[in-house]
Structure 1
Amino acid sequence: MKLLLNTLMAFFCFSFIQAQVNKDSSDIEVRYNFTFIQDTLDSSSALSEPMVLLTNGKQSIYYSENYKAAVDGFGRKLKDAVKKGDIVEPGTLPRSKVRHNVYKDRDHTYISNYLGQNYYTFESPDQMKWEIDHQKTAVIGGYTCHEATISTGGKNFSAWFTYDIPISDGPYKFRGLPGLILQLSETNNYIRFDLISIHKKKVPIEPKKGILISKEQYLSKRKEYMNDPYQGKINNPEYRKIAEENKKKYNNALE
């Protein structure tokens, strides 16, 4: 039921934003496989999900392919149910492990994510100060790439970008290089973005924003949520033990 309500809320949020913004269109669609290890002490906790970057070099939106498919699929089911007067059944909609999305324009990067049932957006204050090593090259997806490194959010990342696609963009919040990022990984390989495909695609770039807060506020709310996911509704020794174990397990975050 909670998944159903969240999906329904997301559907209406998508619909509302589509009616509000002046839509710009993408030039290309880049698909990445996003891999992350939830518990850095347990390699078996690795999860992966296909992610989509729609970009034109000036604006972009980055989101989970599965989450978008679930929202769109539920929207179609909702319309059919309204027409027929039936109850909405989610059925076999795609399951998403990743619910964040990122919207970028020339000057701003907005990161949005759920904490429980609340959906928050914060502007990333991080400056993308890259160091490029033109001596290191690799071929990824048929494109010659060069390596660049960066330290951000307390983590070190290595990216491979190509001059062949002169779009300064990449997965998640990463951009600022003189070409498209095709692969990116955290030094310990706890977080990775690997190219799946690149295609020309003209579709509207539609930001999906939630309650606007600062990054500091978001990190504080995330800590509160990890400490008490049910926000005081449950408070017994067994629940406290589970919450403490979860904090140890889910110790790897992008921010």
Structure 2
Amino acid sequence: MSFKRFLFLCVLTFQSIHSQNKYDNAELKIDYQMTISNDQGNNNGADVRHSYDFTLLCNAVKSIYANNELPNYYEFIRKSRSNRQAPSLDRSMYPKSKSSVYKDGESVVVTLPVGNNLYSFNEPELKWETVSSEKKEILGNLCSKAKAVTDTGKLYYAWYCPKIPVPEGPFRFKGLVGLILEVHNEDRSLIIEATKIEKSNSIIEPIAYINTVHLKEKADFIKKRSEYIDNPNADKFSSPYKAYTLDGKEIKADKRKSLKLNENILLD
């Protein structure tokens, strides 16, 4: 092989690798806060709120949406398994949420926990439509309003910024002509709001989970989740121990009740 031909092949190889990897680095980093409220979750009728922090790393093609602590959490577990003398996992290192969404081109893969198990599946594309000419300013960005009905029949509203022409957003909410900075469901019991936007060149890659089951269809995940809600202890051994009140009545924790109450804020 001549030197010129060898050089030509090297250039082609470099261009191919560069082409494959040019979207591995993020352009933007957006911090979001997801707030879930349930006024039925308190005996006094008070509004119970839970907040979760997530970060979206994205460019025009790829993105990863997850809790900040999640990658470090699984990296620590892997190192601990290979080193018996490694320090124990501190409670502060536990991620508040193990869910994540990885997008690569048209593929949107969601990973969600059901009980002690983790399942991943492909989300179908959302069909958005403009709501009105209503505008709203979020973090200094003028946003327009859109809505979409999910494959499970839930209505969501989104505020997106056309001047940031990245078809991205939190969780599965993607595909508009601008970055989505806020999402909420119909009764606003679930709200996801951007809290910070900055430039980034961090690597975009899926979370390196341990023992995740990939399902062929989203319907399989919904079925497993429904089975868990109906019987949360199906995959656990029954405990021989019971708890009693001072007057001798057995204390029974009904997980199904709390799970059922939260069905309206499931991210479908």
- Tell me the residue number matched to 1:200: 199
In structure 1, which of residues 59, 64, 73 is the aligned counterpart of residue 62 of structure 2?
59
Query: Is 1:227–1:243's contact at 8 Å kept on the other side of the alignment?
Result: no
Q: Give the CA deviation at 1:249.
A: 3.5
- Tell me the residue number matched to 2:12: none
Distance in 1 (alpha carbons) for counterparts of 2:73 and 2:164: 31
In structure 2, which of residues 211, 214, 219 is the aligned counterpart of residue 212 of structure 1?
214
In structure 1, which of residues 145, 148, 151 is the aligned counterpart of residue 146 of structure 2?
148
Q: Give the CA deviation at 1:53.
A: 0.6
Distance 1:221 1:235, change over 3 A: farther
Task: Structure 2 unaligned segments of length 5 or more: list them.
Answer: 1-19, 243-249
Q: Say how many residue pairs are matched.
A: 229
- Tell me the residue number matched to 1:245: 257
Distance in 2 (alpha carbons) for counterparts of 1:49 and 1:247: 18
CA displacement 1:110-153 (0-9 Å, x = unmatched) = 1101223322111112x321122462111111111111111113
- Aligned residue for 1:246, secondary structure, equals helix
TM-score normalised by L of structure 2: 0.75
Greater Cα shift, 240-249 or 60-69: 240-249
Query: Is 1:77–1:88's contact at 8 Å kept on the other side of the alignment?
Result: no
Query: Is 2:229–2:260's contact at 8 Å kept on the other side of the alignment?
Result: no
- Tell me the residue number matched to 1:254: 267
Query: Is 2:40–2:47's contact at 8 Å kept on the other side of the alignment?
Result: no
Q: Give the CA deviation at 1:246.
A: 3.0
- Tell me the residue number matched to 1:89: 88
Matched, 1:234 2:233: no
- Aligned residue for 2:206, secondary structure, equals coil
- Structure number with larger C-alpha Rg: 2
Distance in 1 (alpha carbons) for counterparts of 2:73 and 2:106: 31
Task: Structure 1 unaligned segments of length 5 or more: list them.
Answer: 1-20
Distance in 2 (alpha carbons) for counterparts of 1:100 and 1:92: 18
RMSD: 2.9
- Aligned residue for 1:205, secondary structure, equals coil
Distance in 1 (alpha carbons) for counterparts of 2:24 and 2:199: 15
Query: Is 1:49–1:66's contact at 8 Å kept on the other side of the alignment?
Result: no
Q: Which has the higher helix share?
A: 1
Higher relative contact order (CA closer than 8 Å, sequence separation 6+):
1
TM-score normalised by L of structure 1: 0.78
